[in-house]
Amino acid sequence: MVKKPILTDDDFGDPPDHASPLPPARPVATGGATRQVDGPQETPRTTEAASGGRDASGHARPKTRILGISAARDDASQAQDNAGEHPPVGWLVVVSGPGKGAACALTMGMNAIGRGDNTHVQLDYGDNSISREAHAYVTYDDEARRFFVTHAGKTNLVRLNDTPVLATHDLTHGDTIRIGATTLRFVALCGADFDWTDT
């Protein structure tokens, strides 16, 4: 057994004027004899461990993160950043088929519709008749303030108001776009009466 060194007043030096005086002497056992030693008492391990992120036995405490709240805050921050960079010009809302009720924002320029992660309007709700890559495009031309829909050349047809899209067609508020078993309703925000360049 290794003996701990005994600290004396000399080891601590003179306390500053504002410091509290040293606690009273405490008994220390040394080789069968007990003698009084002045000096601060040793801080219990539990207090030191607790202040350092450890439990009473010295093990690190697990860190807890409430995913729901954190994820919601992260998503809200990301949405706010994206809204500042690419404000919405309209929306496509799934009104029939898998994913009914989902809404996807459209931004200025060409918006690819498909199931893959690299598409602007991702319709990955279980309708495998929609291509993973771009199946169709909805485009907003901010100079003309007009929307257009275009087929991307996939096998399954794209229908605008039940008419096959074989070329580029004008898209107006309330129109429906159908791909496979999924029907989307187009909701315009920008147009002749409003555009983000006006603000």
User: What are the tens digits of pLDDT across the range 137-167?
Assistant: 999 999 999 999 999 999 999 999 999 999 9
Domain count for the chain, please give it.
1
Contacts with 5 (C-beta within 8 Å, 6 or more apart), sequence order = none
Structure tokens given for 16: 């500053």
Indicate whether 77 belongs to any domain: no
Residue type, 64: T
- pLDDT band at residue 65 using 50, 70 and 90 as cut-offs: very low
pLDDT tens by residue, 15-41: 555 555 555 555 555 555 555 555 555
168: containing domain: 89-191
Report the pLDDT value the prediction gives residue 52, as an integer from 0 to 100.
55
Q: What percentage of the chain reaches a pLDDT higher than 90?
A: 55
C-alpha torsion 166→168→174→175, nearest 10: 0
Task: Please give the Cα distance from 152 to 114 (Å, whole number).
Answer: 10
SS3 content of the chain, % helix, strand, coil (to 5): 15, 30, 50
Indicate whether 74 belongs to any domain: no
User: Are 182 and 130 within 8 A, CB to CB?
Assistant: yes
Indicate whether 68 belongs to any domain: no
- Which helix (H) or strand (E) segment holds residue 139: the answer is strand 136-141
Lowest-pLDDT range, 59-63, 78-82, 87-91, 194-198?
78-82
Report the pLDDT value the prediction gives residue 64, as an integer from 0 to 100.
42
Report the pLDDT value the prediction gives residue 72, as an integer from 0 to 100.
39
Indicate whether 1 belongs to any domain: no
Long-range contacts of 187-190 (CB under 8 A, 24+ apart): 187/90, 187/91, 187/92, 187/93, 188/89, 188/90, 188/147, 189/88, 189/89, 189/90, 189/91, 190/89, 190/90, 190/140, 190/142, 190/145
Indicate whether 126 belongs to any domain: yes
Indicate whether 59 belongs to any domain: no
> What's the rounded mean pLDDT across residues 164-176?
97
Q: What residues does 137 pair with on adjacent strands?
A: 112, 150
Among 15, 67, 18, 3, CA closest to 39: 15
Report the pLDDT value the prediction gives residue 169, as an integer from 0 to 100.
98
For residue 180, give the CATH number of its domain.
2.60.200.20
Taking only Cα atoms into account, the Rg of the chain, rounded to an integer number of angstroms, comes to 35
Indicate whether 3 belongs to any domain: no
pLDDT tens by residue, 73-128: 454 444 445 555 789 999 999 999 999 999 999 999 999 999 999 999 999 999 99
Task: Please give the Cα distance from 189 to 159 (Å, whole number).
Answer: 22
Q: What percentage of the chain reaches a pLDDT higher than 70?
A: 58
Report the pLDDT value the prediction gives residue 66, as an integer from 0 to 100.
42
- The per-residue pLDDT of the chain, averaged, comes to 78
Indicate whether 55 belongs to any domain: no
